[in-house]
A and B are shown apart, each in its own frame.
Chain A
């Protein structure tokens, strides 16, 4: 199985801040990496697919980059609705695996 490791596990930030979350894969996955946002007791929502492609309807303050084993999700200017948990997920092979999540909290 491909292990996905996110850092940090939690993060405190203020509105307007620029935030970066990192996801590392245990082996090269090309650009087969997706990012999801999950708010409390809600289903995950796709933000970024194939490492850097913005899903339709997702605000442009979200961006993704990386390839191989290291990826980042950046939120350029935090808005109140962005405080949530973020997960990366590899789609290179089955079993499809997720990172452990990064909880973004209000400072």
Chain B
């Protein structure tokens, strides 16, 4: 059974950096899949942040690209998100998800979500 588990601070100060890690179990992060981050502001819809391949290749949402960095640690079977210069608009539940690209492109496994509040 594939499981994803987010971890990281629940509170970040404005202008600071949001850092989250997603630990993957039941699957190898190094096998032909992409690993994604999606967020959901309170009471709002889902926003794709970006995705990373085990080689380090990335795709980012252009709306966040200047502030986002994703990385992967194959030795720990986990991947990470950093979002800098945060504001209150970055307050959201952050989900990590597995992205399959064959035979179809879809998010099939999700973490339970990590709520992050940006506040001083």
Contact = CB atoms under 8 A, between A and B. Distances in A.
B104 A49 contact: yes
Contacts of A95: 48, 59, 61-63
Given A43-B111, A94-B59, A50 B48 contact: no
Interface string B70-113: 00000000000000000000000001010000011111101111
Which 3 A-B residue pairings sit nearest by Cβ, starting from the closest? A91-B105, A43-B110, A96-B48
Nearest to B111: A43
Interface of B: 36, 38, 45-48, 51, 59, 61-63, 95, 97, 103-108, 110-113
B46 A91 contact: no
Contacts of B106: 34, 46, 49-50, 91
A53 interface: yes
A98 B48 contact: yes
Interface residues of A, number: 26
21 contacts: A1-B62, A34-B106, A42-B113, A43-B95, A44-B38, A44-B46, A49-B104, A50-B106, A89-B46, A89-B107, A91-B105, A94-B48, A94-B51, A95-B59, A95-B61, A95-B62, A96-B51, A97-B48, A98-B47, A99-B45, A101-B45
Nearest to B105: A91
B77 to A, nearest CB: 19
Interface string A22-65: 00000000001010101001111110011001010000000000
